[in-house]
């Protein structure tokens, strides 16, 4: 029962934040902070005041504001986006601050100067799906501005927003002041730009054409010459012809000539250089293709498709390191359209194919003392096969290894890992912990006293040292601590205060993960099937495409909890940098040509 009458009101809510703020801060922390403050001081705060709005609160890289009128809120947002877009013209990607804005209208709780309720949450979720430089408004808000705003919104349909019970109608405004390079990077954009020639003044080859083009900020008129117009018409006609892909390469020469004319008339657009580079790439003229991609990236440093396309050209030339650098650059940038998504997917696919990935897989089942374990050898072979199937170049398998054999295998593997992008060690068998140091138990270990562990077992720090030289990802997978029953020596030692079954917490450094089959201090089950519960899930999930390693860890954890009725809970230690993504297997992108 409500004990007091809460103050409620109908208001228009504007939520805004900076797109890619973490990435910008990573590039230039102080510069980004200062630039954001300047945008707020010069554009954002004055426009909110001018449109009779109120800042409810600031949220670091964003804000929440309210207005008495939805029309005022949308007009304010449009002017803010245009003003910031104008300030971004010519700025490099890492200096470009772009806001995303969401607007909703509804009944809210007003308490202590703050506002609360589902209407606020909807505005925040709309901001989250807006494109950089764009605005998303709810259907309720759009009905209030219909016929009162001189900008048309695109209807995006009913969208399910996170933690919002019912679907929300969404309408989108694009920024009215984007730089030329931020226009749609697609062959359709070239076609649309040439679609409507309105009037001819003069005659013959010297005729001047006036072309009506539709831009984000409304219709405009551009003067073009007949050569450029004819070239655009050719590109339009060819892009609409579905049979061209079957006609050999002759048409590529025509495309190059058409794009030459367009670029001669106006060499300002990254899109046109990228498109000509794609044609040159298809013809096999890799050096000139790379030169065009270079120019596209000079004009627009955030052009994801150009990074991927140049990477493909470098890869075709055999320059793997340059190709990998371009694919990595494409993956580091956010995408705002289908072409950007295609480019990222393609970059991820090719980067996985080019990366040098190595693994050492150890499975110890038959110990010289104690009862043999059922599955570690099977587990090792299963994981090794799964890693080979997802593109690991070298996978070394060692089973029932003595201490000398484990040390020798680790030494050899370190040489591979030092040259690799990824280095993975998988171990299945017994494990103990002594004085906070973690040890894997070889098959010939004879541990009778506390001091024997260091001499008889192999420390986890030795494993981490072996993977430590890998350039990108260092991963240790431990399916051990199977003490059912342990050897007589391990049983005696494990009852002491200094040695226990399972592993305690460690802090690996860099892009390094240690993924345990179970939490420290607990026992991992060997299983009654072909594999242990942990390995069975790992092998299954490694086969599935497009699962990033953080998600893979969550899926395996869920699988193991379910299969063991919550008796065993896997655990991961370590961290992955926020800007990094690691996929064991990627599916090929749906589009198969550079664009």
pLDDT band at residue 234 using 50, 70 and 90 as cut-offs = low
**Residues 6 or more apart in contact with residue 249 via CB below 8 angstroms:** 282, 283
Q: Is there a contact between 485 and 370 (Cβ–Cβ < 8 Å)?
A: yes
More confident residue, 520 or 176: 520
- Cα–Cα distance, 119 to 341 (Å, whole number): 31
Which residues of the chain are in CATH 3.40.50.1460 domains?
355-575
The tens digit of pLDDT for each residue in 168-214 reads 999 998 654 333 333 333 333 333 333 322 222 222 322 333 333 33
- pLDDT at 348 (0 to 100): 84
Element housing 362 (H / E): strand 357-363
Cα maximum dimension of the chain: 102
CATH superfamily of 8-178: Nucleotide cyclase, GGDEF domain (3.30.70.1230)
pTM score of the predicted model:
0.50
Q: Tell me: pLDDT of 253 over 60.
A: no
Quote the percentage of the chain above a pLDDT of 70: 76
Q: Specify the pairing of strand 437-441 against strand 422-428.
A: unpaired
Which residues of the chain are in CATH 3.30.70.1230 domains?
8-178
Buried b (16+ CB within 10 A) or exposed e, 60-99: ebbbbbbbebbbbbbbbbbbbbbbbbebbeeeebebbbbb
SS3 label, residue 71: helix
- pLDDT at 588 (0 to 100): 52
Q: Tell me: pLDDT of 233 over 70.
A: no
Q: What would the mean pLDDT of 372-387 be, rounded to a whole number? A: 93
Find which of 152-156, 325-329, 543-547, 555-559 is predicted with most confidence, using mean pLDDT: 555-559
- pLDDT at 46 (0 to 100): 92
- pLDDT at 433 (0 to 100): 78
Q: Tell me: pLDDT of 92 over 80.
A: yes
Strand partners, 501: 432
More confident residue, 509 or 262: 262
Q: Is there a contact between 186 and 274 (Cβ–Cβ < 8 Å)?
A: no
* Lowest pLDDT segment from 27-31, 455-459, 485-489, 540-544: 485-489
Q: What would the mean pLDDT of 526-546 be, rounded to a whole number? A: 87
Q: Tell me: pLDDT of 593 over 50.
A: no
The single residue listed with the structure tokens 């929300």 is: 168
Topology (CATH) of 355-575 = Rossmann fold (3.40.50)
- pLDDT at 341 (0 to 100): 80
Element housing 272 (H / E): helix 270-283
**Residues 6 or more apart in contact with residue 242 via CB below 8 angstroms:** none
Enter the tokens of residue 16: 């805004």
Q: Is there a contact between 441 and 390 (Cβ–Cβ < 8 Å)?
A: no
- pLDDT at 276 (0 to 100): 86
pLDDT band at residue 240 using 50, 70 and 90 as cut-offs = very low
More confident residue, 128 or 406: 406
């Amino acid at each position: 029962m409500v004990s007091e009458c809460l103050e409620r009101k109908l208001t228009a809510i504007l939520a805004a934040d900076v797109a890619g703020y973490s990435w910008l801060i990573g590039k230039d922390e102080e510069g980004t902070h200062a630039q954001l403050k300047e945008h707020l001081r010069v554009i954002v705060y004055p426009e909110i005041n001018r449109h009779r709005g109120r800042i409810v609160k600031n949220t670091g890289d964003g804000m929440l504001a309210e207005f008495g009128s939805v029309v005022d809120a949308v007009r304010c947002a449009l002017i803010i986006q245009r003003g910031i877009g104008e300030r971004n013209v010519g700025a490099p990607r890492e200096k470009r601050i772009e806001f995303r804005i969401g607007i909703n209208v509804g009944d809210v709780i007003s308490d202590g100067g703050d506002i609360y309720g589902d209407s606020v949450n909807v505005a925040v979720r709309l901001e989250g799906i807006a494109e950089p430089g764009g605005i998303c408004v709810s259907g309720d808000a759009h009905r209030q501005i219909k016929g009162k705003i001189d900008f048309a919104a695109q209807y995006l349909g009913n969208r399910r927003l996170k933690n919002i019970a019912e679907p929300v109608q969404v309408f989108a405004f694009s920024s009215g002041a984007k730089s030329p390079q931020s226009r749609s990077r697609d062959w359709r954009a070239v076609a649309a730009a040439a679609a409507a020639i309105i009037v001819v003044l003069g005659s013959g080859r010297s005729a001047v054409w006036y072309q009506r083009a539709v831009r984000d900020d409304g219709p405009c008129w551009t003067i073009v010459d007949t050569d450029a117009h004819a070239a655009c018409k050719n590109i339009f006609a060819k892009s609409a012809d579905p049979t061209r892909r079957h006609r050999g390469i002759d048409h590529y020469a025509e495309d190059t000539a058409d794009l030459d004319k367009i670029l001669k008339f106006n060499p300002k657009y990254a899109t046109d250089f990228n498109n000509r580079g794609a044609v040159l790439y298809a013809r096999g003229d890799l050096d000139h293709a790379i030169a065009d991609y270079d120019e596209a990236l000079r004009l627009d440093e955030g052009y994801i498709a150009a990074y991927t396309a140049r990477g493909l050209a470098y890869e075709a030339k055999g320059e793997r390191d340059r190709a990998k650098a371009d694919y990595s650059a494409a993956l580091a940038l956010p995408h705002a359209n289908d072409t950007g998504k295609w480019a990222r997917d393609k970059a991820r696919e090719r980067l996985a194919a080019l990366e040098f990935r190595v693994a050492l897989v150890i499975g110890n089942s038959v110990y010289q003392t104690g009862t043999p374990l059922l599955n570690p050898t099977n587990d090792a072979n299963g994981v090794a096969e799964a890693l080979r199937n997802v593109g690991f170049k070298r996978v070394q398998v060692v089973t029932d290894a003595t201490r000398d054999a484990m040390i020798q295998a680790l030494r050899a593997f370190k040489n591979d890992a030092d040259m690799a992008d990824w280095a993975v060690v998988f171990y299945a068998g017994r494990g103990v912990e002594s004085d906070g140091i973690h040890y894997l138990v070889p098959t010939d270990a004879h541990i009778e006293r506390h001091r024997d562990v260091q001499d008889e077992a192999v420390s986890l720090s030795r494993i981490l040292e072996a993977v430590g030289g890998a350039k990108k990802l260092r991963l240790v997978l431990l399916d051990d601590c199977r003490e059912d029953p342990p050897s007589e020596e391990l049983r005696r030692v494990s009852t002491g205060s200094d040695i226990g079954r399972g592993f305690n917490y460690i802090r690996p450094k860099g892009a390094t993960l240690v993924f345990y089959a179970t939490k420290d201090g607990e026992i991992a089950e060997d299983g009654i099937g072909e594999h242990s519960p942990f390995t069975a899930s790992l092998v299954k999930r490694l086969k599935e495409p497009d699962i990033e390693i953080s998600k893979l860890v969550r899926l395996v954890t869920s699988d193991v909890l379910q299969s063991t009725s919550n008796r065993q809970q896997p655990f991961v230690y370590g961290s992955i940098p926020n800007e990094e993504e690691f996929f064991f297997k990627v599916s090929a992108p749906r589009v198969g040509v550079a664009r």
